Structure 1
Amino acid sequence: MTASQSMSKLSLRDRLVTARNRTSLVERQALAHRLAEVLLAAPEVRRAATVAAYVSLGSEPGTGPLLQALRAAGKRVILPVLLPDNDLDWAVHTGDADLAPARRGLLEPVGPTLGPDAVGTADAVLVPGLAVSLDGVRLGRGGGSYDRALGRVPVGTFTCVLLHDDEVGLDVPVEPHDRRVLAAASQAGITRLRRGPTVRG
């Protein structure tokens, strides 16, 4: 990536974070409930026995209702545990009572960890992001944690980033280490990426 591309990525990230911070609590709650509906209706999530997900932070699209719905549907849910080198370990989510504050303001499960490769056992992998291009390039926060995690996910596994509608289909600069995702979930539904024409469904 050239210096100008790197600056473009930083500029896009700053713009998207600023826009998210302007959303109201009511808007965030509505999006969180809508994302739960959208994802529970997706066939890949309906069929999944194990789902890798995460606890949303700050102005990120909320995952609270989603995590409750996944567990209510009988899914095994694994959540990330941030390691000192910014890699991700994983642990089973057993409920809100098992979450404790951790580094960078994150909430993480307190149970036994399963190892970084555990993400590869999930049937569906749901990840955070700030934007995604129509060919699956995800813009994250810049730490590289999820690119490493996605590198352990078998090809063909349903990988989906949770976003606002206007964060889907943007021109995202790509670096060699960036791992693409197959779908995006937003208020409008599931946007399929990298599989011919992009359709919402």
Structure 2
Amino acid sequence: MTKAQARDDLLARRRAMTPEARAGAADAIALHVMAVPVVARARRVACYLSMPSEPGTGPLISGLLDRGVEVVVPISLPGHVLDWVAYDPASPSVTGPLGIPEPAGVRLGAGALESCGVVIVPALAVDHTGHRLGRGAGYYDRALVGVRAPLCAVVFTHELLPEVPHEPHDIPVHMAVTPDGLFRIP
């Protein structure tokens, strides 16, 4: 299966999920991520603001903020590059060029990931060896080059697969969290 075919199939399955199923998944994912020791020790975590069809990150971000963890979220720049902003729920957000919410705030630069205890990344699927299938624009593969913090993908249970199509430039993750729990990549 090609990346394009896999993306089409996975996106169709996401669109078929009910809002209630998505909300339940978001709550379960938040509980599992918050229980991961590296997350529990982190002072700063990078996370993304989820789109409606993605596993929701709202409960996770709220839980991190309640613990006093600084959460930095991406904003997309021209050239398929990400910058990072400290998330403040009271700060206004705008819809970015990719249709993703992006908060206003001081840009922290690509180096912001160097001070993160863990980086939570979006994915359409993750396989048992840590290969992550994204949406295809390469924003995260560029941003994650050289990042030493553990990388954690968040996916629905059916998106943790034995294998996903990947290429040599794709940055693998160290773990995946689904509503059913944590999957550590061997």
State the TM-score, normalized to the length of structure 2: 0.96
Unaligned runs of 5+ in 1: 1-6, 196-201
Match of 2:20 in 1: 26
The alignment status of 1:180 with 2:172, answered yes or no, reads yes
Please identify runs of 4+ aligned residues in structure 1 that moved more than 3 A: none
Q: Which has the higher contact order (CA 8 A, sep 6+)?
A: 2
Alpha carbon RMSD of aligned pairs, Å?
Answer: 1.2
TM-score by length of 1: 0.89
Q: How does 1:1-201 map to 2 (within 5 A)?
A: 8-154=2-148, 157-193=149-185, 195=186
Question: C-alpha separation between the residues in 2 aligned to 1:64 and 1:33?
Answer: 9
Identical pairs, percent: 39
Whole-angstrom distance in 2 between the partners of 1:102 and 1:174: 27
Structure in which a larger fraction of residues adopt strand:
2
Q: Which amino acid aligns with 1:42?
A: V
Cα distance, 1:152 vs. partner? Answer: 3.5
Give the superposition deviation at 1:96.
4.8
Find the aligned partners of 2:157 and 2:34 in 1 and give their Cα distance. Answer: 18
Inter-partner Cα distance in structure 2 for 1:16 and 1:180? 19
From the two aligned structures, give the one with the greater helix fraction. Answer: 1
User: Does the 8 A contact of 2:76 with 2:83 survive in 1?
Assistant: yes
Q: How many residues align?
A: 186
- How big is the shift at 1:150? 1.4
Letter in 2 for 1:143: A
Q: Deviations over 1:123-154 (max 9, x none)?
A: 11000001111111000000000111111411
The letter of the residue matching 1:162 is: V
* Paired residue type of 1:185: V
Q: 1:98 to 1:119 in 2, by over 3 A?
A: farther
CA distance in 2, matches of 1:16, 1:170: 14
Q: Distance in 1 between matches of 2:90 and 2:155?
A: 23
Work out the CA distance in 2 between the residues paired with 1:101 and 1:11. Answer: 27
Q: Distance in 1 between matches of 2:139 and 2:90?
A: 23
Range with greater deviation from structure 2 (46-55 or 94-103)? 94-103
CA shift for structure 1 position 98: 3.5
Query: Comparing 111-120 with 23-32, which one deviates more in the overlay?
Result: 111-120
What are the ranges of 5 or more consecutive residues in structure 2 without an aligned counterpart?
Answer: none
Q: What's the CA shift for 1:174?
A: 1.7
